Structure 1
Amino acid sequence: MVKLTLADAFDTFFAARPQLSAYTVQNYTRTAKLYLKAWRKKPINEITRQMVLKRHQELSAEIGKTTANNVMRHLRSVYNFAAATHDEFPPNPVQILTQARAWHREQRRQTLVTALDLPSWWKAVMAEPEHSRDFLLMALFTGMRRGELMALRWDNVDLNARTLHLPKTKNGDPLNLPLSTFLVELLAERFARADASPYVFPGPGKDGHLVETKKFLLRVSAGSGVSFTLHDLRRTFITIAESLDVPYYALKRLLNHRATGDVTGGYIVVNAERLRGPVEQVAQRILELVNAEG
């Protein structure tokens, strides 16, 4: 019997799913190479229930409960895929977390940059170097996910049509978004300064694009007195959109959320032009808030 190592199982999983977003692949790769490093050369079918339970407990204490859960979800998915082509595999060892009720309860974060905090946050962002300033402004004005924004390529930005195209996203669907006037001007200036990199936000690493944001997030947090994450900016964007009474289906499309189980939603075509008005409204409201006098 050919032994399939954990590392090989992850590689096979990726090869069979070319539609996975770069962000998803990055997260799964981090699981395999960092959090399950000690098991990489081990046959995946020799990972036991007790090994899973112990490693989940260790990660919970060392890194955090949410990360521990995510690591084991990744392992469960890869094991299920491998087992589908290997009849002799034992049941998925991650099942122990369900049977032992060991999964941690996770609470969805509800944090965002409030209207009152936006002026001080903005001031700190505008004091940043161009690459971090523009990245944070793009995150706020589009609500895009971290990985999608970091890997954004110039050939997916059309300044003439004032649109942005994401061929791969977290849910596997492509996304076309209109660009507000504010972002068209920001990207035009950025393009004029761009070097030969195909990425809007190039970086020194092997991927060629920005991958590390922690340092400038900490700088802006310290400079503004506003503690935030990149996902907080996504929540800020959509909260402002909702406050402007942007239609429900437009909100879902702006966030690239599927209307799962919604028959009516399946009949509604929300294209980039349909979203242009809402996107411009949100941009104008953000600018109003950051310029509001305290």
Structure 2
Amino acid sequence: MKPYRSNTSRKFPFTKKAIEALPAHDPASPSREMEYADIECIGLHLRVSKNGRRFFQHRYRYLGRKMCLSLGEFPAVSVQDARSRVAEHKALLARDKDPAAERGKVRADLTFEEFSTQHYLPHAKAHKQTWDDDKNQIERRLNPILGKLRLQAITPRDVAMVHSKEKERTTACTANHLLATLKRMLNLAVKWGLLEKNPAGGQEKFKEGPLRERYLSKEELPKFLKALEDQDDLLSVAALRMLLYTGCRREEIMSLRWENVRLDEERIFLPKTKNGRSRTVHLNARAKEVIQDLQARKDQEDRTRGSEYVFPSRQGTKKGYIYDLRKPFEKACLNAGIDNFRIHDLRHTFASMAVSSGADLYAVQRLLGHQDIAMTQRYAHLNADDLKKATEGVSEMFDRAA
């Protein structure tokens, strides 16, 4: 590719694939960036830096002056988003209004709540499987404190206050999760040209204690299973059983579709997991029994008849599948006399039982769908007996060699 010349640009129809294929600008070039122009949207340009970052901008004239307005960074801002913004700017120019001045007014008045509702959440819904978690954090934790503040008026002190209050209310770990969400939101605001700088960028995480480890003991397990049997909501109980018998994440089981169930092969397919990858989950006898029972009753109840989901929600709910299992879960824990136990701890229980039954950590990693073995290391202490046997075996080999 020829070196960039300051007054030239490359022209082609912008597409996601074409932009992703563009190389970083030549590090040896005297110019800072390479610039490209979209031939399907006059005025839309793309700057590519030497480190490979890509930024949309709109070049236009206003009152005879050349103007340039940043539209945000690709891919956080898509090609369609960028073209839509250029179209909005052209509509303003047709009314003799400067898009830069108008955006300045919007930026000056935009509150955090408006930003989260109008900008961040639609983006998260389209790009993040667990966007509902962000929505809950925003509505319950962030908006009550930051919601009415102008986005541009939020300071590092405001961020520190949110972080500290969450730690006082919950734990350092939960507070750090909230901080991560806030940082991610404000980073996007910067990329989209709504903020000059992220006020949360310098806020450091709290030091976290040891990872919480809670799973059902040998004494608690039969009590919990018995407490599930005594409940009337059979579908929710079946969902809780599947979480316990497979070790899957809640969203993975709740959103399970019948088309991804392979009973003859004793497995289910998860097309999209938390880490963005698909995976196959092998069904043990208990899990297979739950699915078989649901399949047998599928056409006998109005709620399940014709649904694509294994665990369909009641009519009128936003999701097509069950999401909230708190009531039946908390009732089971109460009746079983089990304290300090969360739904996610069913996953820990499955993992602890797998390790205790002799599975090595790499097998458990695959069972849980962990991308990093470090996440599975928390269960390492549970196979201490196996480690002791291994080191004694090495000792015996030394004895024989002596």
Query: Shared fold (TM-score greater than 0.5)?
Result: yes
Q: Map of 1:124-273 to 2, 5 A cutoff?
A: 124-129=227-232, 130-194=234-298, 195=304, 196-204=306-314, 205-227=317-339, 228-259=341-372
Task: Provide the rounded CA distance (Å) in 1 between the counterparts of 2:155 and 2:291.
Answer: 51
Counterpart Cα distance in 1 of 2:159 and 2:345 = 32
Question: Alpha carbons of 1:58 and 1:185: their partners in 2 closer, same or farther (altered >3 Å)?
Answer: same
Distance of aligned partners of 1:44 and 1:229 in 2 relative to their CA distance in 1, 3 Å threshold: same
- Name the counterpart of 2:221: 118
Distance in 2, matches of 1:183 and 1:51, equals 48
User: Would the aligned equivalents of 2:121 and 2:131 in 1 still touch at CA under 8 Å?
Assistant: no
Matched residue of 2:324: which SS? coil
Change (3 A) 1:66 1:187: same
Structure whose CA Rg is larger: 2
Q: Which runs of 5+ in 1 are unaligned?
A: 262-294
Question: TM-score scaled by structure 2?
Answer: 0.57
Q: Secondary structure at the match of 2:280?
A: strand
What is the CA distance between 1:190 and its match in structure 2?
0.6
Does residue 75 in structure 1 map to residue 191 in structure 2?
A: no
Q: CA, structure 1 residues 13+78, in 2 after alignment: closer, same or farther (shift >3 Å)?
A: farther
Q: Which has the higher contact order (CA 8 A, sep 6+)?
A: 1
Q: Which residue of 1 aligns with 2:155?
A: 48
Q: Is the Cα–Cα contact under 8 Å of residues 173 and 206 in structure 2 kept in the other structure?
A: no
How much has 1:110 moved relative to structure 2? 0.9
Note the C-alpha offset of 1:206. 0.8
Q: In structure 2, the residue corresponding to 1:164 is in which secondary structure?
A: strand
Q: Percent identity?
A: 28
TM score, norm. by length of structure 1 = 0.76
The DSSP-based 3-state class of the residue aligned with 1:173 is coil
Q: Distance in 1 between matches of 2:240 and 2:183?
A: 34
Q: Is 2:115 the counterpart of 1:11?
A: no
Counterparts of 1:157 and 1:44, CA distance in 2: 46
Worse overlay, 63-72 or 133-142 = 63-72
Corresponding residue for 2:141?
Answer: 35
Aligned to 2:203: 97
CA contact (8 A) 1:9 1:78 kept: no
Partner of 1:284: none
Describe the shift of the 1:52–1:235 C-alpha distance in structure 2 as closer, same or farther (beyond 3 A): same
Aligned to 1:291: none
Alpha carbons of structure 1 residues 200 and 88: separation in structure 2 relative to 1, 3 Å = closer
**What letter is aligned with 2:318?**
K
| 1:288 paired residue number | none
Q: Distance between the aligned counterparts of 1:217 and 1:11, measured in 2?
A: 29
Give structure 2 stretches of 5+ with no counterpart: 1-99, 299-303, 375-402
C-alpha displacement of 1:88: 6.0
